[in-house]
Structure 1
């Protein structure tokens, strides 16, 4: 519930009073279980990031041709976004205003580097076009994935596997018939 309040009001715009009201408890009850709102933020951001990093350790992300590993990570990232939508949405909105946010951004950069390495390996193997900057390719691929957080609503139309298929098709095959 706290993540929903952070997403609606922004972390900086959310007070402990707002959180207590949304959770239906007193502020002291929150402080009994959590050090403060920054701990709630950290737990939410870690939930999203831990899910993304779990993808990087899956067998399909660690063995085989780089292009196949890249596609796996892209597809599974769509699933993570769908499964952890409120937490990923919050992750995508942090700007580094606090130590917790800075740490989350560092972890996001680490994930981006992992994906960038896959693109570079794909270029070296001849499976990815050499005329596209790997860093730009990663930003474009995950810009497409991350934009899903703005409009996707689970249970309303397309499901996560179909969405992952569509994203992978556009990313790896393009739109041309």
Structure 2
């Protein structure tokens, strides 16, 4: 699976053929079909791996008794950890365009996560825990956009630890950069 995800990320899912996958796997196309029914099935398994991990973070956080700001902090922390742990799979997820039913279903799952963050931001604003002069619609997308951009530059071992990264994300979102 990891080789296929790497090839999808390198060449683009749409541009990757089963022949390209077989070349990188070092097996014949027919051997691939012995294990999976289609390229879409491989994509579906990879996307499920990323989304299942993210959804597990959200479910765990939402089940807690913490207030909305603490839940937001935990969601950001957990999302960064999933992104680093599952980077190739999350990278593939973030590059989707919705060109197939599998891609559209994955994008819908991502939208549900975004709406959850949006709901928590609005709840925190209503409780006076977050500023109300910041858009409750834009702020969640900007938060998640910052997290999502990590796939473009983070290199484990070269860009600091995961703990440092998560602390930086949470601090920047909730405290900003102003001294």
Superposition TM-score, scaled by structure 2 size: 0.95
Q: Which residue of 1 aligns with 2:157?
A: 155
Match of 1:87 among 86, 89, 94: 89
Q: Distance in 2 between matches of 1:161 and 1:25?
A: 39
Match of 2:16 in 1: 14
CA distance in 2: counterparts of 1:115 and 1:63, whole angstroms: 16
CA shift at 1:131, angstroms?
1.6
Which residue of 2 is the match for residue 69 of structure 1? 71
- 2-structure distance, mates of 1:43, 1:159: 28
The CA deviation at 1:61 is 5.8
Moved over 3 A (4+): 59-62
SS at match of 1:11: coil
Structure 2 portions without partners, runs of 5+ = none
Aligned mates of 2:159, 2:131 — CA distance in 1: 34
**CA–CA distance in structure 1, aligned partners of residues 134 and 44 of structure 2:** 35
1:37 aligns with 2:39: yes
Give unpaired runs (5+ residues) of structure 1. none
Map 1:1-177 onto structure 2 (within 5 A): 1-59=3-61, 62-177=64-179
TM-score by length of 1: 0.96
Q: Give distance in 2, aligned partners of 1:19 and 1:140.
A: 35
